[in-house]
Amino acid sequence: MWWGGRGQSFNIAPQKAEPDMGLSGPKSVQRTGMLESRSCQLGSHLASGCLPGEQILAWAPGVRKGLEPELPGTLICTNLRVTFQPCGWQRSQETPLSSEYDFVLVNIGRLEAVSGLSRVQLLRPGSPLKFTPEEILIHGRDFRLLRVAFEAGGLEPQAFQVTMAIVRARAQSSQAQQYAGISLSKAGQSSGSRKPPVPLLETSEDWETERKKQGAGGWRVSPVNERFDVATSLPRYFWVPKRTLDSEVRRAFGHFHQGRGPRLSWHHPGGSDLLRCGGFYTASDPNKEDIRAVESMLQAGHSDIVLVDTVDELPSLTDVQLAHLKLRALCLPDSSAAEEKWLSALEGTRWLDYVRSCLRKASDISVLVTSRVRSVVLQAPEARTLLGFQSLVQREWVAAGHPFLTRLGVTGASEEAPVFLLFLDCVWQLLQQFPAEFEFSEFFLLALHDSARVPDTLTFLRDTPWERGKQSGQFNSYTQIYTAGYSQLPAGNSVNPQLSVWDWDLRYNSEQILQFHNPGYDPEHCPDSWLPRQQPNFMVPGPPSSVWLFSRGALTPLNQLCPWRDSPSLLAVSSRWLPRPAISAESLADQEWGLPSHWGACPLPPGLLLPGYLGPQIRLWRRCYLRGRPEVQKGLSAPTVSGLQDELSHLQELLRKWTPRISPEDHSEKRDPNTIVSQSR
């Protein structure tokens, strides 16, 4: 049956009684006819919230549980998503994708049907439903939980149908299914004049603007990868030393894994540079000109070079994936972990250990960067703003070729590991330790965390910039040369390349977007004056005066920079064959920097954020990981003033309940909240 909505057509599939439900005879026919009639009446209302090409497969009235108060409404299954529509709620045409009520099919990690107190069936693709469910539990891969209790009184077939529809739709879903045509109702402009909210770094002009913003005078934008014939996993443009020719860049990059040679990631105002690159090909045999090109790009005009080893101290992809699976299982409402052993089980996931390792590495590298050494940097004051952080993610994750689909497990590849989500957890830790230093809020980090699972734009929908460009039709005129390891993409162009994850109004209304801003942010805490002034003679010609390896919290001198001289290199061989100092129990800051004496004394500048990573300084992101357990959400800092007022009322109610526990002799002190709290522990 076809229903029209706002000038568009949507396919509403009428619900039919399942043959194995035992419905037969005149009453069955009458009941089925009533259901189809009600489906038709509801269809026109539901269809107005559909996207072009979206088909409603089944629906059933129910009550969303687990919230206070419980919400009556309708559970709807389409070929793209499962959504709960509360009674009286109208989906806005300006926000076609509801972040609060929608579960994308590819985001469903676990589906359970419940009947009574003891009958629970885990529904896998292709498995038949053994009973009519009274409740359905949808567990999202993003830790969200949708729990719906179905209405009785002749509506049991609908509960059965919508549950089976979800099972079938989930089995048929894949990463190729996208929210098609969302740009039709949102942008309405296909002229190409629309300016994205965050530069997508898809043009040389975008890269040049960013280079000037960072003040990287010794660098230039190279178009050597404009046709993706150097590396498909790299952007079309990137920064290289100004004196390095494109022919030298091409030769040098050919000796790195997947063609990912050294390029600028961040220029520190103090003069140091962050470079990132892949490992050397162990079987590579460059000539002298190639070696000189590689050395020149690694040196980047600096006299002191530090190669940062991340192999020994940071978790592997397998470690991250296993820890995330354990964490997700532990945070489920029906977790088998006993209440008194829950914290021990949390430590057993190793997730917080890996967050701790990343923050320690970030702290040490921040020290190295501030000492004006060409090294790696994790944060800078510009990246603490909302726009600056979005630009950082777009540049260092999206444009740099992070394989989001593979790491988030959408492709089913063995390299699944949510590294990006681990990064967001680290940022959340910084936000908790330095709440006045960041313009964005926890709510923004949650939105970014959840958006990684929603296939509405190409930002997180492909593994490489080349794949995103091919899917959008942006690079159809280019000849693909380097194709090793990359499969063909599905045909079609259903996503507007102008839209990105930074178009937040696709899923969030204006009130929710306002919550992205941290009300406690103080720009005066992040002045530019604390940054050391760049030395005019910092970029020096000739070979480097010293090369260092930073590993296990300590610096070790190296005799050479490249691996093709007399001995193996850091980047060419497994780290276990390299000389390693014992792991230091102190960070560089704790060791009074622990830097070579000839670099000179350089006190820690004010405004530099060095995260704590010991013991209770690392906390569980409860608002994210425990969303399926709303009973533990009370007492968390709300992102809005009204939310804080609600939580204050909740805490005051707790104080009133605790007050009778105070002994008579302490009656004079019971009006002091601090005294009450301390005595109730």
Place of tokens 């061989």: 573
Tell me, letter by letter, the H, E, C secondary structure of 389-441: HHHHHHHHHHCCCCCHHHHCCCCCCCCCCCHHHHHHHHHHHHHHHCCCCCCEC
List CB contacts of 681: < 8 A, sequence separation 6 or more.
none
The Cα 12–Cα 55 span in angstroms is: 6
Nearest residue to 593 via CA among 324, 373, 384: 373
The pLDDT value recorded for residue 225 is 96
The Cα 499–Cα 32 span in angstroms is: 43
CA 484 to chain centre: 27
- Residue 326: phi and psi, rounded to 5, are -65, -40
CA 542 to chain centre: 42
List CB contacts of 603: < 8 A, sequence separation 6 or more.
none
Place of tokens 């603490």: 384
The pLDDT value recorded for residue 367 is 79
> Alpha-carbon dihedral of residues 281, 287, 288, 292, nearest 10 degrees?
-40
CA 201 to chain centre: 19
Quick count: other Cβ atoms within 10 Å of Cβ 253? 25
Do 18 and 62 meet the contact criterion of CB atoms below 8 Å apart?
A: no
The Cα 466–Cα 487 span in angstroms is: 12
The pLDDT value recorded for residue 23 is 35
| Continuous segment of H or E residues that includes residue 443 | helix 442-451
Nearest residue to 75 via CA among 97, 46, 112, 98: 46
- Residue 58: phi and psi, rounded to 5, are -165, 160
**The two three-digit tokens of residue 31, written as one number:** 């009941």
List CB contacts of 518: < 8 A, sequence separation 6 or more.
431, 435, 438, 439, 440, 441
Question: Measured between alpha carbons, how far is residue 449 from residues 170, 389, 446, 543 in Å?
Answer: 21, 14, 5, 44
The pLDDT value recorded for residue 373 is 54
**The two three-digit tokens of residue 91, written as one number:** 């989906």
The Cα 278–Cα 262 span in angstroms is: 8
Question: Measured between alpha carbons, how far is residue 28 from residues 24, 163, 428, 533, 646 in Å?
Answer: 5, 20, 55, 82, 49
Mean pLDDT in order along the chain per 10 residues (681 residues) = 31 41 41 47 59 86 84 92 88 74 89 89 89 93 92 82 94 59 44 74 95 93 95 95 94 90 89 85 79 86 81 88 94 84 94 95 81 48 87 93 87 83 96 91 94 80 81 48 36 53 88 91 60 42 69 79 53 38 55 52 68 90 88 61 70 67 44 39 39
The Cα 41–Cα 35 span in angstroms is: 10
The Cα 300–Cα 296 span in angstroms is: 6
Work out the angle between the directed axes of helices 246-253 and 288-299 (0-180°, nearest 10): 100
For residue 517, give the DSSP letter: B
Q: Do strands 8-12 and 55-65 pair parallel, antiparallel, or not at all (unpaired)?
A: parallel
Sign, CA torsion 290/291/292/293: positive
Question: Measured between alpha carbons, how far is residue 638 from residues 96, 290, 644, 648 in Å?
Answer: 26, 56, 5, 10
The pLDDT value recorded for residue 583 is 54
Three-state DSSP class for residue 265: strand
Do 183 and 102 meet the contact criterion of CB atoms below 8 Å apart?
A: no
List CB contacts of 124: < 8 A, sequence separation 6 or more.
none
Quick count: other Cβ atoms within 10 Å of Cβ 489? 13
Please give the model's pTM, rounded to 2 decimal places: 0.80
List CB contacts of 67: < 8 A, sequence separation 6 or more.
630
Three-state DSSP class for residue 60: strand
> Alpha-carbon dihedral of residues 471, 475, 477, 482, nearest 10 degrees?
-90
Three-state DSSP class for residue 471: helix
Nearest residue to 113 via CA among 130, 97, 94: 130
Question: Measured between alpha carbons, how far is residue 194 from residues 186, 341, 401, 497, 504 in Å?
Answer: 12, 54, 24, 11, 15
**The two three-digit tokens of residue 528, written as one number:** 């530019």
The pLDDT value recorded for residue 591 is 55
Sign, CA torsion 68/329/403/350: positive
Do 307 and 295 meet the contact criterion of CB atoms below 8 Å apart?
A: no
The pLDDT value recorded for residue 187 is 44
The Cα 253–Cα 484 span in angstroms is: 16
The Cα 501–Cα 97 span in angstroms is: 12
Q: Buried b / exposed e across 331-352, counting CB within 10 Å, b at 16+?
A: bbeeeebeeeeeeebbeebbbb
For residue 242, give the DSSP letter: T
The pLDDT value recorded for residue 195 is 79
The pLDDT value recorded for residue 27 is 44
CA 534 to chain centre: 34
Amino acid of residue 270: G
Hey, which residues does 307 pair with through a beta bridge? 549
